[in-house]
Amino acid sequence: MKRISKFLFYFILIFLLASCNSQVNKIGNPNANVESLATGKESPKPYVKDVGNVDVLNTHGGVEGIERMQRFYDDMKSGVVSDLRIVSYTIEGDPIVTDLKYNGESLVVKNDNTRDEYGSGEIRTIKCGHLIEEINPTNTTYIATDCKDLPTGMNQILKLEYNMSQQDLFEIDLNYGEKLENEINTKTGEIKKENGTTEPFQMADNVKQELYKRLVFANYLDDKETFTSCDRPNAIKYNLKVYINGGDREISWKDCDESLYGLKFTKIANYIIAQTEQLQTEKPDVIVQGYVLERKDNTLLIGEELNKMDYEWMKDEIKQMDMNSFIFDFTELEGVPIEDYQPGDKIRATIDGSIRGSKPGRAKVKEIKKIN
């Protein structure tokens, strides 16, 4: 029960912080990845008082320096000796430092809790074998595996959440052009063009989910003081206003800004603009992705959006607790050759029609495949 409370706690925390920063969904394309951040540029290293050489800063869902995490993961896959320092803040604002060191063969994880007033006050070093990047439609997690002296042999290093459906409100207003004469506003459902004409526009939910993901990876809630001013004649200006829950966040830049943030947000703006030129599918395919928890009554019980660590602790808990105790969604899939699947298999299924009910929902499968 302690573990369940912890997950509920973090869920509520992320929800509240998104509202205070003033700022899948079951539909969409869950395999649509954010464009590579390998631009040859980096954001400035984060500053944390009394902690030096920080590469990645995780502030309750807002992550600064994610490109360094991705590069470390790529280096490990290539056998390149690397190190990384991650700082994650507790709710009380205390930094927890995680140092990763890869020597070309194995990974050493050092967790330093000495600055956490309510923590163990210890430094613990764990030897692990590998690092995996697990991408789900609404979250991405980096997990150290083959770790000694851990119950599941795994240690969660970093997790990014980008589930648009958990937000009460998510809309955008993009103005762009030499004089900001064009506008795309999903809040009013309109496009205004430089010639003065106005057209209706409704962004599809799967597109909004992908847009939200890209904004989270760009750490859009952070103060972007690192945008580079540029004075190129006829530069395209951008002004992006993001409405999130009860607040908003406004970002302005130009297309000649060659900083990492400038490049990221120009790509995001171009993605938004491109969507106005494409047909927005009103009812895209409903997708279920997750781990098989049980086979019963000719159905597969799926825990949606789980990562490998989530599955390991949930596989036993699910037999003892009501599903409403969990923050995750569950779906029973019908029309599946259940003999082809085992608990622990990760699947992606396209639904025939819609999902009926909840906790668990029930749905007929049109297509299904293993993805692990």
For the segment 170-188, what is each residue's pLDDT rounded down to a tens digit?
Answer: 999 999 999 999 999 999 9
Q: Does the pLDDT of residue 1 top 60, yes or no?
A: no
d(CA 319, CA 321): 6
pLDDT for residue 23: 31
Which residue in 18, 94, 87, 26 sits closest to 53, CA to CA?
87
Which residues sit opposite 367 in a β-bridge? 350
Q: Does the pLDDT of residue 40 top 70, yes or no?
A: no
d(CA 94, CA 265): 30
- Reported confidence tier of residue 61, pLDDT bands at 50, 70, 90: low
Q: Identify which has the larger pLDDT, 28 or 286.
A: 286
Q: Does the pLDDT of residue 12 top 60, yes or no?
A: no
The fold adopted by the segment(s) 287-370 is OB fold (Dihydrolipoamide Acetyltransferase, E2P) (2.40.50)
Structure-token pair, residue 261: 């943030």
b/e per residue, 61-82, with b = 16+ CB within 10 A? Answer: bbbbbbbbbbbbbebbeeeeeb
8 Å CB contact between 359 and 297: no
Structure-token pair, residue 69: 């995490």
Q: Which whole number is the average pLDDT over 263-281?
A: 92
- Reported confidence tier of residue 199, pLDDT bands at 50, 70, 90: very high
Lowest mean pLDDT among 60-64, 135-139, 200-204, 298-302: 60-64
Q: What percent of the chain has pLDDT over 90?
A: 66
8 Å CB contact between 97 and 56: no
Q: Which whole number is the average pLDDT over 291-304?
A: 94
For the segment 83-102, what is each residue's pLDDT rounded down to a tens digit?
Answer: 999 999 888 888 999 999 99
Which residue in 97, 101, 103, 27 sits closest to 353, CA to CA?
27
Question: What SS3 string covers the chain?
Answer: CHHHHHHHHHHHHHHHHHHHCCCCCCECCCCCCCCCCCCCCCCCCCCECCECCCCEEEECCEEECHHHHHHHHHHHHHCCCEEEEEEEECCCCCEEEEEEEECCCCEEEEEECCCCCCCCCCEEEEEECEEEEEEECCEEEEEEECCCCCCCCCEEEEEEECCHHHCCCEEEEEEEECCCCEEEECCCCEEECCCCCEEECCCCHHHHHHHHHHHHHCCCCCCCCCCCCCCCCCCCEEEEEEEECCEEEEEEEECCCCCHHHHHHHHHHHHHHHHCCCCCCCCCCEEEEEEEEEEECCEEEEEECCCHHHHHHHHHHCCCCCHHHCCCCEEEEECCCHHHCCCCCEEEEEECCCCECCCCEEEEEEEEEECC
- Reported confidence tier of residue 82, pLDDT bands at 50, 70, 90: very high
pLDDT for residue 22: 32
- Reported confidence tier of residue 285, pLDDT bands at 50, 70, 90: confident
- Reported confidence tier of residue 9, pLDDT bands at 50, 70, 90: very low
Q: Which whole number is the average pLDDT over 36-49?
A: 66
- Reported confidence tier of residue 41, pLDDT bands at 50, 70, 90: low
8 Å CB contact between 60 and 13: yes
Phi then psi dihedrals of residue 74, to 5 deg: -65, -40
Structure-token pair, residue 275: 């969507």
Residue spans of the domains in the chain: they are 26-162, 166-275, 287-370
For the segment 312-359, what is each residue's pLDDT rounded down to a tens digit?
Answer: 999 988 888 889 989 899 999 999 999 999 999 999 999 999 999 999
Residue in the block written with tokens 């795309």? 184
pLDDT for residue 15: 38
pLDDT for residue 148: 93
- Reported confidence tier of residue 67, pLDDT bands at 50, 70, 90: very high
Q: Which whole number is the average pLDDT over 142-156?
A: 95
pTM to 2 decimals? 0.83
